[in-house]
Amino acid sequence: MELLIVTGMSGSGKSSVMDVMEDIGYYCIDNIPPKLIDKFVDLCRKSETNINNIAVAVDIRTGDMFAEIFRSWQALKSEPDVNVKVLFIEASDEVLIKRYKETRRKHPLDEKFSGNLHAAIRYEWQQLSQLREIADYYIETSELTASALKEQVKKLFLDKSSDSLTIKIMSFGFKYGVSTESDLVFDVRCLPNPYYLEELRNHTGLESCVKDYVMGFEQSQNVFNKLKDLIDYLIPLYVQEGKSQLVIAFGCTGGKHRSVTFAELMANHLKDGSYRVHKYHRDITKGKKF
């Protein structure tokens, strides 16, 4: 039996995640008290409808009962016939506040903090910090549209074997903020920048003209080869440790040229090694003039 516990910050997109899990065939329950998760799993075992894939959303809405999540998680991890994973969803404080103001919805802790949204979010972070540490999967939704979030969830769980490692290769621009969801972050701003060439400025690392320029320098080739050796060495260690998702990010100034080039090359290299890889270029369209 596959059991996915979906949790994270209120307003980060858990409802959208649960919609996707239901679409791809998971039996979904939202806002279940943690104490009842193992009992629900037992009911599914005895069900005649053959329920093998379950997703439950658990968050701060359950109040004091939320503290039971760790006991339930530990108990389920010890069950030999249950493969339990945790997906943690979050967004930056600024984005969460903006979302609540735009939708005019109340935070679940609104009454506890007399309408002080900043205090409610800060308290929720404190309550969830330990749960974030045990998460098998992690998605940061600050820069994602609802459709982009759903697409990422599909790539993680659709037709995925339970013991595989999913590798997400992404590019980003430091000027728009460091990628907080990444396990490994590599800064390639030390390499020659195509932005300063008029004929390349409005192109991206997805195009051969930029890729050829970036990789036309010996230092670029040396950096890529060293990073390739490092990542090739690390991935089996992550697999051995039982990690389900590995996020590798390459950052440059604007997230359009060097980082995209390196992300594309690394993704292709890992695909050649038969790893399950998907790509995401976070900032490639930012500042683009149409």
pLDDT at 159: 58
Residue 278 and residue 49: Cα distance in Å, rounded?
A: 33
pLDDT at 219: 97
Taking each helix axis from N to C end, the angle separating 258-272 and 218-241, rounded to the nearest 10 degrees, works out to 50
Amino acid identity of residue 110, one-letter, is D
Q: Token pair for residue 52?
A: 């093998």
Taking each helix axis from N to C end, the angle separating 117-133 and 93-103, rounded to the nearest 10 degrees, works out to 130
Q: Are 126 and 119 in contact (CB under 8 A)?
A: no
Q: Specify the pairing of strand 2-8 against strand 83-90.
A: parallel
Length of the chain: 290
pLDDT at 288: 63
Residue 221 and residue 149: Cα distance in Å, rounded?
A: 33
User: Is 0.95 topped by the overall pTM?
Assistant: no
Read off the pLDDT of residues 60-77 as tens digits, 9 standing for 90 and up: 887 777 778 888 888 888
Residue 33 and residue 21: Cα distance in Å, rounded?
A: 19
Residue 87 and residue 81: Cα distance in Å, rounded?
A: 20
Helical spans, DSSP H, in the chain: 14-23, 37-46, 69-77, 93-103, 117-133, 146-157, 208-214, 218-241, 258-272
Q: Domain locations in the chain?
A: 2-157, 166-281
**Contacts made by residues 91-98, CB under 8 angstroms, sequence distance 24+:** 91/9, 91/11, 91/12, 91/13, 91/140, 91/141, 91/142, 92/142, 92/180, 93/118, 93/121, 93/122, 94/142, 95/141, 95/142, 96/9, 96/10, 96/11, 96/12, 96/121, 97/121
Helix, strand, coil percent values for the chain (each to nearest 5)? 45, 20, 35
Instruction: Kindly report the CATH number that applies to the domain delimited by 2-157.
Output: 3.40.50.300
Read off the pLDDT of residues 179-197 as tens digits, 9 standing for 90 and up: 888 999 999 999 999 999 9
pLDDT at 261: 98
pLDDT at 217: 97
Question: What stretches in the chain show pLDDT beneath 70?
Answer: 159-164, 242, 288-290
Q: Nearest-CA neighbor of 152 among 282, 242, 251, 243? A: 282
Q: Are 140 and 95 in contact (CB under 8 A)?
A: no
Q: Token pair for residue 172?
A: 């980003």
Q: Are 174 and 252 in contact (CB under 8 A)?
A: yes
